[in-house]
Amino acid sequence: MKIIDKVNLIRFGKLKAEENIKNFLKEIEKNNFSGKKINAILSINPNAINEALELDRRIKQGKKVGKLAGIGIVVKSNICVQGLECNCASLTLKGWIAPYSATVIEKIKKEDGIILGMANMDEFACGGSGETSAFGPTKNPVQLDLIPGGSSSGSAASVAANFCDISLGSDTGGSIRNPSSHCGVVGIKPSYGLVSRYGLIDLSMSLDQIGVIGKDSESVAFLLDIIKGKDEKDPTTYESDPINIFEVSKIKIGILKPLANKEIQNLIDNRIDDLCNKYSWKKEVLEIKYIDVAVQTYYPLVYVELFSGTRKFDGRRFGKKIEDVAGPELLRRILGGSEITRAEYSGRYYKKALEVKELIKSEFERAFERVDCIIIPTCPGLPWKIGESMRVEEVYAYDALTIPANLAEICSLTMPAGYISNIPVGMQVMCKKGDESKLFSIAKKIESLSLFL
Amino acid sequence: MSSDLMWRRLSEEEKIKIKEIAKNIIDNFSKTIENLPKSDERFIERDPFLRDEKENAFLDDLEKFREIIFSNAPLKKDNFIIAERGSWTKN
């Protein structure tokens, strides 16, 4: 059920907020902590039912309620929710209770959304598989032996496992789109600056964005419209028009040379052909220079900015010293960042990576002068088995198709495109910076082609 | 090679090895982009503005503030947070 339809049921007393929240909590108890042991949720909001009861009381009294009345939302554990444990799935912050709420949480609460709990994730968002959490890996609800993707592993798995109506994640190089693709749900990385990052424990400040994961694009757009907007606490944010889904026609799709494994590429190519046949959309093959070095540009930026951002976790003000308790992937990035910020490099690698980021951004700007959107696979391969041997470089290459949107600061959404061996495969739709309305309008049109699933 | 993704406690030897791997990765990545052309773009363009500091809702509910600060304190006794001055300098 779409979020907006459920809100209407709750507002008009046809569904109690309490019932909605209790149903999710029951499912979490049944399959997160026991049963399938999906491990998508790390902690529950102990006040969730009371908040729902209070909302039901207000509705009964005929009082006005918000646009998210009674909707159950799961939040990635790097977004601060006052009074709840925000540990970034790390022993560093184990037991740390957020003393304030992120701007996105304030906005959700103002609209009567109910935070159900905090989601598992890769440790400090370092990882693309959901395996690097200090509290154990998250399982993919579609196939329990597979990774759900990451780093917003718990946020995507929570939606797929019916633990919530919708969830929040963060995306630095694909951390919303990658797990959404593997779990068969919809996820958006908004344009850089659309959503305030105040209260987000950062991985890489020049790339991070908070975004939404849900079951359909309209619900995702609905929540994104609520959390977006200029915030004086985050100077990268800007004023933006409301997200408006409109009827699109004569769309020109940009496609790139094959980027994924053959099966996935064929599936996406077929879907694009379906769209062109059904809606008379056009397609054009584009060349985006430097996209092949996106991974090599991204990691120097992330290593340096993560190193810088984690200096506050020295064991004095927050929990434990990060280097003492970090798992392999987090430590690799911190030590790598420490190495290239040494005086002998004088910022050479970091500055060069920033320059290439600008080149890639310009390439995308040029491409969007020719086409309305670019459609490519979300991931180059299928999810692997939890615990399977993987080389580090091989894992980093899994983000090769999602990283370019972060470097270019554009908006990008993944949506289910079909299945290969019963495993969901995501299709990534990208539009130019600030063009979320067009992105969601195209996504809605794609969803209405029910032949996809 | 076994999975190097799953979280585990690391020995000092493993940490040294991880540092070497990290340096190699970042050196290889950086060499790949070293000779690409320079960008004409300026890096940062922002409108100047000052943050409005007048609101401080955080301190409105002092009881809540106290409860959260106490719940995060690593050492406490009765009504006090125990601060250990300079304990990190001992190592």
How do residues A45-94 score in pLDDT, each as one tens digit?
999 999 999 999 999 999 999 999 999 999 999 999 999 999 999 999 99
Q: What is the mean pLDDT of residues A334-343?
A: 87
Reported as a single tens digit per residue, the pLDDT across A161-188 is: 999 999 999 999 999 999 999 999 999 9
Question: Per the CB < 8 Å rule, is B7 touching A395?
Answer: no
* Assembly ipTM: 0.87
Q: Residue B73 — very low, low, confident or very high, per pLDDT cuts 50/70/90?
A: confident
pLDDT above 90 (res A207):
yes
Kindly tell me if the per-residue pLDDT of A231 is higher than 50.
yes
Q: What pLDDT score was predicted for residue B91?
A: 47
Q: How far is CA A5 from CA A70, A105, A219, A227, in A?
A: 12, 22, 9, 19
**Residue B87 confidence class, pLDDT cut points 50, 70, 90:** low
Catalytic residues of A: 76, 151, 175
Q: Is B25 in Cβ contact with A336 (below 8 Å)?
A: yes
A132 interaction partners in chain B (CB closer than 8 Å): 5-7
Which of A299, A323, A331 minimises the CB distance to B29? Answer: A299
Q: Which of A232, A314, A331 sits opposite B51 (nearest CB)?
A: A232
How do residues A278-313 score in pLDDT, each as one tens digit? 999 999 999 999 999 999 999 999 999 999 999 999
pLDDT tier at B5 (50, 70, 90 boundaries)?
confident
Residue A128 one-letter amino acid: G
Percent of chain A with pLDDT over 70: 98
Q: Is A324 on the interface with B (CB under 8 A)?
A: no
* Residue B43 predicted with pLDDT over 90: no
Return the H-helix or E-strand segment holding A270: helix A262-279
How many whole angstroms separate alpha carbon A337 and alpha carbon A111? 40
Residue A102 structure tokens:
């992120």
Phi then psi for residue A190, to 5 deg, are -70, 165
Confidence at B1, pLDDT banded by 50, 70, 90? very low
Contact A252, A370 (CB under 8 A): yes
Least CA distance to B89: which residue of chain A? A316
A315 has a pLDDT exceeding 90: no
- What phi and psi values does residue A398 have, to the nearest 5 degrees? -65, -20
| Paired sense of beta strands A423-431 and B76-77, if any | unpaired
CB-nearest to B6 from A95, A332, A387 is A387
Residues 334-373, chain A, touching B (beta carbon < 8 A): 335-336, 339-340, 348-349, 352-356, 358-359, 361-362
Is residue A32 within 8 A of residue A41, CB to CB? The reply is yes
Residue of B nearest to A357 (CA): B39
Q: Does residue A139 belong to the interface with chain B, where contact is any CB pair within 8 Å?
A: no
Burial class (CB in 10 A: 0-12, 13-18, 19+), A141: buried
Nearest-by-Cβ selection for A356 from B6, B36, B64: B36
Give Cβ neighbours of residue A173 (< 8 Å, ≥ 6 apart).
Answer: A128, A207, A298, A302, A399, A402, A403, A406
Query: What is the C-alpha to C-alpha distance for residues A150 and A177, in angstroms, rounded to an integer?
Result: 9
Among partner residues A233, A354, A389, which is closest to B3 by beta-carbon distance?
A389
| Chain B touched by A99 (CB under 8 Å) | yes
Average pLDDT over residues A129-135: 97
Average pLDDT, chain A: 96
Confidence at residue A450, expressed as pLDDT on a 0 to 100 scale: 66
Residue B2 pLDDT > 50 = no
* Identity of the amino acid at A270: N
At B38 the pLDDT is 81
Q: Which residues of A touch B3 (CB under 8 A)?
A: 131, 387-390
pLDDT (tens digit per residue) in B18-35: 999 999 999 899 889 988
Question: Å from A286 to nearest chain B CA?
Answer: 20
Q: What is the mean pLDDT of residues A417-436?
A: 97
Give A269's contacts (C-beta < 8 A, 6+ positions apart). A255
Query: B interface toward A at CB cutoff 8 Å?
Result: 1-10, 14-15, 18-19, 21-23, 25-26, 28-30, 32-34, 36-39, 41, 43, 46, 49, 51-52, 58, 64-65, 68-69, 71-72, 74, 88
Tell me the pLDDT tens digit for each residue of A30-40.
999 999 999 99
- A188-198 pLDDT per residue, tens: 999 999 999 99
CA of B80 to nearest chain A CA: how many angstroms apart? 16
How many other β-carbons are positioned within 10 Å of the β-carbon of residue A358?
17
* Closest residue, chain B, to A127 (C-alpha): B5
pLDDT at position A184: 98
Region B84-89: what's the mean pLDDT?
64
Residues of chain B contacting residue A178, judged by C-beta atoms under 8 Å apart: none
Residue B41 has pLDDT above 70, yes or no: no
Q: Could you read off the pLDDT of A385-396 as tens digits, one per residue?
A: 999 998 898 999
